[in-house]
Structure 1
Amino acid sequence: MSNGWEEIAGDFIAAREQSSIGVDVARAWAQTLPNGAAILDLGCGTGVPIALALSKDGFRIYGVDASPTIIAEFKRRLPQMSAACEPVETSPFFGRSFDGIVSIGLVFLLSADAQRRLIFRAAAALDPGGHFLFTSPSPVCEWTDLMTGRKSRSLGEETYIRLLSEAGLDLVGNAVDEGENYYFHAVKT
Structure 2
Amino acid sequence: MTATETAEAPAPTPLSAEQLFDAVGPAYETAFENLDTQHKSIRWLLDQLPSSGAKIVDIGCGTGKPVCYLLAEKGHDVLGIDISGAMIDAARERVTKAKFEKLDIRDFNPPSESFDAVTAYFSLIAGVSQDEIRATLKRVFGFLKPGGFLVWSTVPLDADNLNLSWMGRPTVVSSLGPEDALAAVKDAGFEIVEEMRSQYLPKGAVEAGICGEGDIWEEPHLFVYAKKPTA
Task: Report matched runs for 1:30-179 at 5 Å.
Answer: 30-36=46-52, 37-93=54-110, 97-109=114-126, 110-141=128-159, 144-146=165-167, 148-176=169-197, 179=200
Partner of 2:222: 182
Structure 1 or 2, whichever has the larger Rg, is 2
What displacement does 1:188 show?
Answer: 0.5
Query: Cα 1:45–1:121, aligned 2, differ >3 Å: closer, same or farther?
Result: same
What displacement does 1:152 show?
Answer: 2.3
What displacement does 1:112 show?
Answer: 0.8
Partner of 2:217: none
Amino acid at match of 2:176: L
Distance in 2 (CA, whole Å) between partners of 1:172 and 1:161 is: 11
TM-score, length of structure 2 as denominator length = 0.71
Partner of 1:11: 24
1:107–1:134 CA contact under 8 A, matched in 2: no
Distance in 2 (CA, whole Å) between partners of 1:145 and 1:186 is: 28
- Point out the more displaced range, 175-184 or 131-140: 175-184
Query: Cα 1:147–1:29, aligned 2, differ >3 Å: closer, same or farther?
Result: farther
Q: Aligned to 1:76, what secondary structure does the other structure show?
A: helix
- Point out the more displaced range, 38-47 or 71-80: 71-80
Q: Aligned to 1:149, what secondary structure does the other structure show?
A: strand
What displacement does 1:80 show?
Answer: 2.8
Structure 2 gap ranges (5+): 1-14, 201-219
1:6–1:68 CA contact under 8 A, matched in 2: no
1:39-75 CA-partner distances (Å, limit 9, x unpaired)? 1100001102221122223322111111122112111
Q: Aligned to 1:40, what secondary structure does the other structure show?
A: strand
Query: Cα 1:85–1:122, aligned 2, differ >3 Å: closer, same or farther?
Result: same
> RMSD of the alignment, in Å?
2.5
Distance in 1 (CA, whole Å) between partners of 2:34 and 2:65 is: 8
% identical equivalent positions: 21
1:7-30 CA-partner distances (Å, limit 9, x unpaired)? 552533023147242223222233
